[in-house]
A and B are shown apart, each in its own frame.
Chain A
Amino acid sequence: MNFFAIIGRVILALLGEIGRLALFTWSSVSHIFRPPFFWRLLGQQMMRIGYFSLPVVALTAFFTGGALALQIYYGGSTINSESIVATIVALGITRELGPVMAGLMVAGRVSAAIAAELGTMKVTEQIDALTTLSTNPYKYLVVPRLVAAVITLPLLVFIADVIGVMGGFIVSTASLHFNPGVYVQNTINFLKADDVTSGLIKAGVFGFIIALMGCFQGFNSKGGAQGVGRATTNAVVTASILILASNYVMTSLLFAK
């Protein structure tokens, strides 16, 4: 086949996919604000997306904070290292690594689970059945997941921030023999509220991306077990890429001088 025809086909398919995603996003968001609301399902999803992600996120944050402290110590000058390590760990975790690491971990856990669940419902006609029972599938399935993720991701990231900074603290004091009091003082002196809130804003956006990609891929899966498997993979991959890309955009917007 003609080389240009192949490129054209790929671009058309990509544009089609973007269009479908835009429509899906619009339908989902517009249903958030229109009753009926399924509170019980929202609670359920907050447990599943938020609470059950806690261990994964906490462990990730702890080791990231610790490794970050070591790297800064090894790489940075030994002069002033006590103040530099504390500051960079605090800023790095709250501004970038906390939200991004938590976002990626939750994307792996939650986007996949959502895509598999909704994908199975799709191929077994359960989503069609919802429609015939006067229940809008967007309201019943998508909205609770979307809202739950947007609410719980910032909470998770806040916890990740605390644990990540603590990881840096523990490594610095136990293994690098820094003075604990000075470390804490440096952290408090340099960390501003903006650093934390910017990370939490990012987290909200990542939550939206995670739930949206899971639902979108699930709703669009077709053709049995293989289709559901493909939807699951696609959900994780697209959610992760979108998280990293949107993180870059948000960093450049939030910290532009």
Chain B
Amino acid sequence: MTDTPKIELKNVTKRFGSKVVLDDLSLVVPKGKSLVVIGGSGTGKSVMLKCVLGILRPEKGEIFVDGQNVLKMSTTEREQSLRKFGMLFQSAALFDSLPVWQNVAFGLIQGRKMRRKEAKEIAIAKLAKVGLGAEVSELYPAELSGGMQKRVGLARAIATDPEIIFFDEPTTGLDPIMADVINDLIVDSVKDLGATALSITHDMASARKIADEIAMIHKGRIIWAGPRSEIDSSGNDYVDQFIHGRATGPIKMDVLKP
């Protein structure tokens, strides 16, 4: 064994009431790699990220970050471990009472106790990276478009140069060109910072660009995982149906046909 994986989920089960969302799910994210999880809507992708972050607590299973079981940690240890993470929420989840720059600088000011002036400079630099000018920095989140909010969320996720970055649907709601800019940014963050990335997307173009490895989740389980180059020759009907976006196949959408 050469390297402990950066993140490892072992037999994780999470349910809400009687509804099983993650069903004995196991997944490994190697250090310094970018893993993309694909899968249909409502299959538990966001829930999986939240379990790793400790926002939700799974009923069963183990979650390791750098070889340490985070579910067994004390609150203080857990908080310490969370400093390694940056997270882009699917809904952006910006603090609506704070202007954009304070949102981006939040982890620096509150989490790392950096001086506000210094943190603001970093925030503006990060905003530039996601294609937002300094004039946006004084606006409030409610004054931004959905795509702009997403980009601010992205800037906030990478502001502290974290070791591990989670992207929950980073390109949804962006135009194709901006989506590609964001893809490049994610690739750069992983390469330059040596970060480990775990992303979720429905956007296959984005997945092909940012992934070193791809995993597919279906009904709360990982049904296929492999390097990006093998995604087209997976031999898995579920994967084929998903990447080609076919309505017919083994995955049944719960829609009523007239």
Contacts and interface: CB of A to CB of B under 8 A. Distances in A.
B106 A128 contact: no
A55 B100 CA distance: 34
Nearest to A34: B76
B188 interface: no
B87 interface: yes
B111 interface: yes
Interface string A183-222: 0000000000000000000000000000000000000000
Nearest to A138: B75
A133 B156 CA distance: 9
Given A133-B106, A134-B110, A126 B54 contact: no
B232 interface: no
Contacts of B156: 133
A128 B51 CA distance: 11
Contact of B82 (A120, A121, A124, A134): A134
A120 B93 CA distance: 11
A129 B89 contact: yes
Contact of A133 (B55, B96, B110, B113): B110
A160 to B, nearest CB: 30
Interface in B139-187: 156, 160
A238 interface: no
A140 interface: yes
Given A124-B93, A128-B89, A129-B93, 11 more contacts: A120-B96, A126-B94, A129-B87, A132-B82, A132-B85, A133-B106, A133-B110, A133-B111, A134-B79, A135-B110, A136-B79
Interface of A: 36, 38, 120-121, 124-126, 128-129, 131-136, 140
Interface of B: 50, 53-55, 79, 82-83, 85-87, 89, 91, 93-96, 106-107, 110-113, 156, 160
